Amino acid sequence: MTLNIDFVRSRFPAFTEPSLAGWGFFENAGGSYSCRHTIAALDRYYRENKVQPYGFYPASQKAGEAMDRSHERWAATLGVAVSEVHFGPSTSMNTYVLAKAISDSLGPGDEVVVTNQDHEANTGALRRATKAAGARLVEWAVDPESGRLDPEQLGGKLTARTKFVTFPHASNIIGDENDVQQLSAMAHEAGARVIVDGVSFAPHSIPNLAVLSADVYLFSLYKTYSVHQGLMVVRDDLADELPNQGHYFNAGLRNKRLTPAGPDHAQVAAAGAVIDYITELGEHHGFTGSLSDVAASVSALWRSHESALLEPLMAALRAMPSVRVLGSDRPASQGDMYRCPTVAVALRDRDPADVARALASRQLMVGAGHFYAKRLVEALGIDAARGVLRLSFVHYTSLAEVEQLISALQEELS
Ligand SMILES: Cc1ncc(COP(=O)(O)O)c(C=O)c1O
């Protein structure tokens, strides 16, 4: 079965927006278009329920119900308990608060494993928090050629003192999937907790956390066709163990312990609407079962559509002598692990920002820079001040858009 791309695109108002007509969007790793379900839910909340939620009058009760529904729908989709779903302003804020809680739980002699493959949001605060607690930071470094993480090397970093291990499900530069299941099992075997940054992975494949078994899993809904919020799953036993970061009188409320700010009611209420999109897409393709089953089937369709589009793009880039393709160089469909269509290239004799500007004049939206993965870009031997050219797409991208990108790249870079 193949993904019905026309059906998909009809669910995204950006594709019928006159000011965007003719533009190919390849900066999805920075933030995706929103589906119409998300936009309608936000609009509805602001028109009908913009009052204090969980109160004594109908508009308020409906507001609270919409917020609860988002928790419930995401919990069922991700395969976790409702109390394990936390919405915060962004992944960076979620990791910041989490790092503070972790810092309060660490002591001298404890160890925390971090990588240099991450976006800084996933390790910056944790690095500082580990040092502040007097604990030891253990670096698990990427291969300087491919940028990939070797699971065997993690084995050598784990000790009886390791308390936390953190890594990305996929990097926002190289796109290769890390085997969360395998890495979590290794860390758990050593008695450590696992924190996974799923920001660059979730837009391509909605994770099933019952299978992946990470203790914390984070992603950004604004890159996943939804609202500008960060979704953080924290396993209940860990949330109970970590010191409360909210008001002292809310310490007994799991969903307030790690999100101290008052929630953005409208965005939380609209956060679950993207699940309605996934469900509708699943129904259209004949999928049945639980929400997590449907999300898994829809994700498989997304991945095969994306992989089919990735092949010609990778082949075209590989044929350009002035371009170094970062990450895995194998065809997208080979190997066990998925390769997200987040393609970063280093340019031998052009400034990536100049090329991004040139592509914009051809109605192509692409990004340039280090994308806050400065450690990774430097580890790959690239000048971070210039960074890389990043071409990232998702399941709503069409073959015609990829072809538009390829011919523009061929003219600009060959
Ligand atoms: C892999 C990755 N992790 C974390 C973040 C930070 O997410 P947020 O913007 O929600 O703070 C980003 C943002 O680009 C990202 O790409």
Task: Tell me the CATH number at 172.
Answer: 3.40.640.10
Q: What is the pLDDT of residue 261?
A: 86
pLDDT under 70: residue ranges of the chain: 329-336
> CB–CB of 333/353 below 8 Å?
no
Pocket test for ligand 1, best of 86, 98, 200, 216 (most atoms within 8 A of CB): 200
Q: Which atom of ligand 1 is nearest to the CA of 170?
A: 1
pTM of the entire predicted model: 0.97
pLDDT of amino acid 335: 57
Please count the structural domains in the chain: 2
Shared-domain flag, residues 347 and 402: yes
Atom of ligand 1 nearest to the CA of 90: 10
Q: What is the pLDDT of residues 114-128, one digit of tens each?
A: 999 999 999 999 999
Ligand 1 mean position, distance from CA 295 (Å): 22
CA of 1 to the centre of ligand 1 (A): 32
Phi, psi of 302 (to 5 degrees): -55, -50
Output the CA 38–ligand 1 centroid distance in Å.
Answer: 20
pLDDT of the residue at 328: 82
- Does residue 209 sit in the same domain as residue 326? no
Q: Which of 221, 247, 274 is a domain's end point?
A: 274
Mean pLDDT of the chain: 96
The reply to whether 304 falls in a domain is yes
Q: Is residue 282 part of a domain?
A: no
Neighbours of 138 (CB within 10 A): 18
Please tell me the distance between residue 126's alpha carbon and the centre of ligand 1 in angstroms: 15
Report yes or no on 352 lying in a domain. yes
> Residue 76: exposed, middle, or buried by beta-carbon count in 10 A (0-12, 13-18, 19+)?
middle
* Residue 112 CA to ligand 1 centre (angstroms): 21
Same domain, 177 and 101: yes
Are 261 and 41 contacting, i.e. CB atoms less than 8 angstroms apart?
no
- 272's torsion region: left (phi>0), alpha (psi -120 to 50) or beta? alpha
Using the atom order of ligand 1, give the atom closest to the CA of residue 93: 11
248 and 379 share one domain: no
Based on the fold, state whether residues 302 and 228 are members of the same structural domain. Answer: no
pLDDT for the residue 337: 83
Atom number, ligand 1, closest to the C-alpha of residue 371 = 14
Q: Which two tokens stand for residue 300?
A: 């498989």
Last residue of a domain, one of 206, 241, 274: 274
Distance CA 99, CA 344 (A): 29
Residue nearest atom 7 of ligand 1, based on CA coordinates: 91
Full domain range(s) for residue 374: 5-34+292-413
Residues 161 and 264 in one domain: yes
Atom of ligand 1 nearest to the CA of 118: 1
Query: Which residues lie with the beta carbon below 6 Å from any ligand 1 atom?
Result: 90-92, 119, 121-122, 168, 172, 197, 199-200, 220, 230
What is residue 330's predicted lDDT score, i.e. its pLDDT?
Answer: 61
